[in-house]
Structure 1
Amino acid sequence: MAESSNGNGNGNDADNYHPAPQWLTVSYVENILRRYKKDDDLNITDLSIKPATAKGENYASVMTRIKVDYVRSGSNASESENYASVMTRIKVDYVRSGSNASESENFIVKTTYENDPFISGIFASYQTSTTEMVMYDKILPQLSALLDGTDKSEKLFAKTIYVDYEHSAIIFEDLAICKYAIGDRLIGYDLEFTKLALRKLAKMHAAAAVFNERQPGLLTKLDHGIFNRHSRGFTPMFENFFVEAVAFAAECPELGNVYADKLKRLKNLVMEYTERVYDPKDDEFNTLTHGDLWVNNIMLRPKTENRDLDMLLIDFQYSAWGSPAIDLHYFFSSSLQPELHKHINALIEYYHSVLVDTLRAFDFTGYIPTLRQMWLQLEKGKFMAVTTTLTCQAIMINDQTADADFNALMLDNERSRNFRKVAYNNKRLRENLKYWLPIYNQCGLLDVQEWE
């Protein structure tokens, strides 16, 4: 469920990377670039295609990095052309030669798994490609435009070059050219990184609430998040990782059979209980959630003498209308360094302050929750934290990627069982479980119960 590799794989050999789609040819890219540059006679002189996604870094899509060298038709191509309908150029290297301008640009091409019917079928049931294409094509640009109209404006997302509905592909700016990179998923975020991520998320949530107020009904149609009422295709993955959690609790001296028995009873209820978190509630604050917010779906640009630390949110395959509890618990339970676990309430307070300030900057007339109301709403959705801690976290901080692919997550064969056992041998995961499971138990989250 990641967007890009951060170099924590097991090598650079070709077998460790997903191949680029066969239709990604010079002719294909040239046609898109001609449309983007508004130059029907533009010619590509060189196209470099490299995989950008290592196994274990991305289970839901294939990322390909391309570098395009091209020459425009005119001899005096202007650097100040207006590309209002498309993306502003990220990098252009001009090498003047006679009357022509040789230029170079870098892009990322995001595609689905197209050669595996099993994988394709699962993701199709979750509408992942459709959701993300609509997000990058229709929604994210409008959220950015809304935010730009306030004093809270800042860049939140990568800019879109082209959305190809026929091939289920998205081409957008290569953020690596601007020195953005994925953080270290095996370490997690410190306080500075965490607060910046929450600021970006709060502004996205605020802009989405305003968008829905002004154009009601559009965002609420997005209802195919990782947990939803339409598909349970991911059930084997979540239930099988609960089996590993049971085994770990049983052998852990700090936990024991009481925890193992409770987790065993929850195994067949994990989908239903988490889906309830995803059900929008009329009496709560709802917004468009990112749906898969963790380290690998956030691009970082480090701080230097000339610029501040920055982040951009990426990967919107599971965006859905619902409670902020979805994003906050998912992020807190997957991406924070352990020392921050004791400061969750302070982080919620910070998120809430940015959310409220941004909503007021929009003159939002809808429901704005108080801090107490937000805290209670997040408590109601806290089973999301249980699910993320026991399942998603095991995948996200796994440092053994030899068997890390979607089939290993979904099937129940010897290879898959070995992958899950190896993932649950992770020291950081085990320490996190020993910390969080007693807290969840004290809150009654590990008890089978009837919820309204």
Structure 2
Amino acid sequence: MDSVNADELVAPAWLNAQFIEEVLKKHECRPELRVLDVQMSPASAKGDHYASIMFRANVSYTCTGGKQSKSLIIKTMPDEEGHKKEMLSGSHLFETEIGMYTKVLPRFEQILREAGDNTRLCAPCLYCSLEPRQVMIFEDLVPLGYTVIRKREATTEELNFAFLKLAKLHAVSFHVLHEQPEYLQEFKNGLFEIPNMRQDPFCITGMKKFLDFLEEFPELRKYKPYFEKMENDYIDRVEIVMQEYRRNRKPNGYYVLCHGDFHLKNMMFKQREDGSLEDVMLLDYQVSNICPITMDLIYAVYMLMGIEERHNNYKELLDYYFAEFLATLQNIGYKGDLPNSVEFWQQIFQHKCYDIYLITTFLPMMNAFKHNDFDPAEVFQKEDLQRGMYRLDSYVQDVKYLLARFEAEGFFQNQ
């Protein structure tokens, strides 16, 4: 079972047939429902996620009408002691995601439907709770034909589908923030509001490992002085941008409710019988928060796109996203001044500190997970494994191209 996370091999004792029966009774409004059997298994593969544990429950039950079955995805907090539990302790992850699924996403879908757009922004959530345990239960999308992309990069068509869905999520939130800003004010807990984020060694030592990496390659050493200048404040600069809406709002800033973790394993794709794409479903809204529109998009360049798209097609993909963002705003009746492309790209360049944080810290890990069998639990805790990710040839070649592009764009002249 090396292909799954170790803490998802055995479900916690409370996650049993009695618990599932109570959930289904309430969801289906059938007090006579009786669960006959529950088969639990890991719901995801190693490297798919980290900020929770997930199980698939294949449930057989009886109710009026006879015997039935249902597949559920159950998401909860880790019980086992260790880095994952310590890292996530005291976080607002489940509070945020429950708010998204019960309040925000249904309302956003309603706004789209009223404009003639039947886009679905989330999988059906059957049950959620913060007490006595943080848990969410979803309809399993696999029997409906959705799959996670593994062991390959997303195609341009798949990326366009993902950016289209993100554009609609962003546009509706932009509209709501303009018309009724108080509706979304509770969504203020992003990456840097995770209590232990700024103390976790993995999250704060990426630049040191990156500088050592630059020193090893003669053609990259010329960039080292620029990154040394950023070493003491690059994380502070990212945090300032992420919290800009709440602490230092800019009059020309484009603010939306960002997904917060917009990468390939947080979406599932569905194909039609002829092989064409029918839909993409976004997953995992645990760090959704109001912040600059650029945060999801810069993140997507490094955490969603593959190397080829990142090098050759990222501007076209983001232009496509922005065109759909504007089209959705117009379709849902947004009455303010429309954002413009020039300002959009200026803000992306102004927030280059996020590029730096991702390249130096999270891109090595994402690259390793895509192309190698790394265990997330070990990666977060073992520095030798972390350093090894910076030496993978795919990462080396990626960085060589990216830093040359940054240099050509004049980024280093401003440091």
Q: For 2:403, what is the secondary structure of its paired residue?
A: helix
2:293 aligned to which of 324, 329, 335: 324
Aligned 1:417-432 pairs, distance under 5 A: 417-432=383-398
Deviates more, 1:358-367 or 1:59-68: 358-367
2:269 aligned to which of 285, 295, 300: 300
State the partner residue of 2:334.
364
Provide the C-alpha distance between the structure 2 equivalents of 1:41 and 1:48, rounded to a whole number of angstroms: 21
Structure 2 gaps, min length 5: none
Provide the C-alpha distance between the structure 2 equivalents of 1:165 and 1:125, rounded to a whole number of angstroms: 12
Deviates more, 1:356-365 or 1:137-146: 137-146
Q: Is the 8 A contact 2:167 2:325 kept in 1?
A: yes
TM-score by length of structure 1 reads: 0.83
TM-aligned CA deviation for residue 301 of structure 1 = 1.5
1:203–1:325: structure 2 CA closer, same or farther, 3 Å change rule?
A: same
Provide the C-alpha distance between the structure 1 equivalents of 2:404 and 2:203, rounded to a whole number of angstroms: 21
1:26 matches 2:17:
yes
1:331–1:214: structure 2 CA closer, same or farther, 3 Å change rule?
A: same
State the partner residue of 1:383.
353
Amino acid at match of 1:48: Q
Q: For 1:255, what is the secondary structure of its paired residue?
A: helix
Deviates more, 1:298-307 or 1:362-371: 298-307
Provide the C-alpha distance between the structure 1 equivalents of 2:86 and 2:32, rounded to a whole number of angstroms: 39
State the partner residue of 1:148.
113
| Percent of residue pairs bearing the same amino acid type | 25
Aligned 1:203-282 pairs, distance under 5 A: 203-228=168-193, 232-233=197-198, 235-256=200-221, 258-278=222-242, 279-280=244-245, 281-282=249-250
Amino acid at match of 1:382: K
In the TM superposition, what whole-angstrom CA distance separates every residue of 1:10-49 from its partner, at most 9, and x where no partner exists? 446x848453232111111100100011011110011111
Q: Is the 8 A contact 1:286 1:323 kept in 2?
A: yes
State the partner residue of 1:179.
145
Q: Is the 8 A contact 2:269 2:277 kept in 1?
A: no
1:139–1:268: structure 2 CA closer, same or farther, 3 Å change rule?
A: same
1:50 aligned to which of 41, 45, 50: 41
Aligned 1:156-167 pairs, distance under 5 A: 156-166=121-131, 167=133
1:375–1:360: structure 2 CA closer, same or farther, 3 Å change rule?
A: same
State the partner residue of 1:336.
305
Q: Compare the two structures and name the one with the higher helix fraction.
A: 2
TM-aligned CA deviation for residue 388 of structure 1 = 1.6
TM-aligned CA deviation for residue 244 of structure 1 = 2.1
Provide the C-alpha distance between the structure 1 equivalents of 2:338 and 2:258, rounded to a whole number of angstroms: 16
1:165–1:125: structure 2 CA closer, same or farther, 3 Å change rule?
A: closer
Provide the C-alpha distance between the structure 2 equivalents of 1:162 and 1:423, rounded to a whole number of angstroms: 38
Q: Is the 8 A contact 1:224 1:230 kept in 2?
A: no
In the TM superposition, what whole-angstrom CA distance separates every residue of 1:295-315 from its partner, at most 9, and x where no partner exists? 111111134328633211101
Q: Is the 8 A contact 2:197 2:203 kept in 1?
A: no
Aligned 1:63-74 pairs, distance under 5 A: 63-72=54-63, 74=64
TM-aligned CA deviation for residue 229 of structure 1 = 9.8
Q: CA RMSD in A?
A: 2.5
Provide the C-alpha distance between the structure 2 equivalents of 1:265 and 1:254, rounded to a whole number of angstroms: 19
In the TM superposition, what whole-angstrom CA distance separates every residue of 1:394-415 from its partner, at most 9, and x where no partner exists? 112214445531x642x5xxxx
Provide the C-alpha distance between the structure 1 equivalents of 2:135 and 2:89, rounded to a whole number of angstroms: 14
TM-score by length of structure 2 reads: 0.90
Q: For 2:185, what is the secondary structure of its paired residue?
A: helix
In the TM superposition, what whole-angstrom CA distance separates every residue of 1:173-192 from its partner, at most 9, and x where no partner exists? 111111211113x5322211
TM-aligned CA deviation for residue 253 of structure 1 = 2.9
Q: For 1:312, what is the secondary structure of its paired residue?
A: strand
Provide the C-alpha distance between the structure 2 equivalents of 1:145 and 1:18, rounded to a whole number of angstroms: 38
Structure 1 segments of 4 or more deviating over 6 A?
A: none
State the partner residue of 2:325.
355
Amino acid at match of 1:311: V
